[in-house]
């Protein structure tokens, strides 16, 4: 993408590098140059079991939490350690995608893996998700001023990110303003499109992943979708590890 979505948190995993191999030869000591190891490749997770929606998607739109069984969300939250309010959004977005774009095959656990990597499910730096989906205090990334990131000058006059000099990634799923203008969605049913609303941000992420990857049950397509969100290889590995762990936790919890 010409304007990829940027993340707030740094990826906490590093690529595994092979140790230096020292080989002694007769008469001459020699340290060989190590062969670089293959970088870790993200294992595409399968879709995790999901209870049917309580209600079909109807007009007027009432939001993601209305689409998923609240008891299932509570059980999944207890098994995975994900906040219950975040589980309602992840599960609801997976149901929404299954209804609106059934060929996408987006699992709630993929959304949860991204949510963990981006903001610990909306809880980074003491933030929390309210009953209405709003995250407080608001989550803002660092200024994308080129010091440690790509330089992205202000594109919204500070209207979305509060910074009229440089763009910043905003909200629990960390959209830059230009991407939010393209993909922002009303996931809460309140008639607003707010990157600081967890439901809105998760629905926007679901729509973006389906657009970027197509059928996410195909491993290469899943990796392509995650790379469109963040093209750092360790990021994809982290998302896949969390997604697989959450699915296993639910299956055994």
> Does 10 or 88 have the greater pLDDT score?
88
In angstroms, how far is the first alpha carbon of the chain from the final one? Answer: 38
Percent of the chain whose pLDDT exceeds 90:
78
> Does 177 or 13 have the greater pLDDT score?
177
A 10 A CB-CB count for 252 gives: 7
Residue 225 pLDDT > 90: yes
| Integer CA distances (angstroms), 78 to 73, 84, 123, 129, in order | 9, 8, 16, 17
Confidence category of residue 11, pLDDT binned at 50, 70, 90: very low
Which of these, 154, 177, 176, lies nearest to 165 by C-alpha position?
A: 154
Q: What is the pLDDT of residue 194?
A: 98
Q: Which structure tokens are listed for 140?
A: 């803002």
> Does 33 or 157 have the greater pLDDT score?
157
Q: Which structure tokens are listed for 221?
A: 């397509």
Q: What is the pLDDT of residue 39?
A: 64
**Averaged pLDDT score across all residues of the chain:** 87
Per-residue pLDDT reduced to its tens digit, 38-86: 668 899 999 998 888 888 898 999 999 999 999 999 999 999 999 999 9
Q: Which structure tokens are listed for 40?
A: 């870790």
């Amino acid at each position: 993408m010409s304007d990829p979505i940027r993340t707030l948190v740094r990826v906490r995993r590093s690529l595994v590098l092979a140790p230096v191999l020292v080989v002694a030869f007769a008469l001459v000591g020699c340290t060989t140059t190590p062969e670089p190891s293959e970088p870790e490749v993200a294992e595409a997770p399968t879709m995790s079991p999901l209870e049917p929606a309580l209600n079909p998607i109807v007009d007027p739109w009432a939001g993601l939490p209305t689409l998923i069984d609240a008891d299932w969300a509570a059980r999944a939250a207890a098994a995975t350690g994900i906040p219950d309010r975040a589980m309602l959004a992840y599960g609801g977005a997976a149901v929404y995608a299954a209804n609106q774009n059934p060929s996408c095959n987006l699992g709630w656990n993929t959304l949860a893996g991204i949510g963990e990597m981006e903001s610990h499910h909306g809880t980074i730096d003491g933030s929390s998700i309210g009953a209405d989906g709003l995250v407080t205090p608001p989550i803002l990334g660092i200024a994308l001023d080129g010091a440690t990131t790509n330089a992205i000058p202000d594109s919204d006059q500070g209207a979305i990110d509060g910074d009229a000099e440089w763009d910043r990634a905003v909200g629990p799923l960390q959209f830059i303003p230009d991407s939010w203008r393209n993909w922002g969605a009303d996931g809460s049913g309140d008639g607003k499109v707010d990157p600081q609303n967890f439901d809105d941000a998760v629905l926007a992420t679901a729509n973006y992943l389906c657009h970027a990857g197509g059928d996410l049950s195909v491993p290469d397509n899943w990796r392509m979708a995650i790379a469109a969100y963040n093209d750092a290889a360790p990021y994809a590995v982290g998302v896949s590890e969390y997604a697989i762990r959450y699915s296993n936790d639910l299956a055994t919890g």
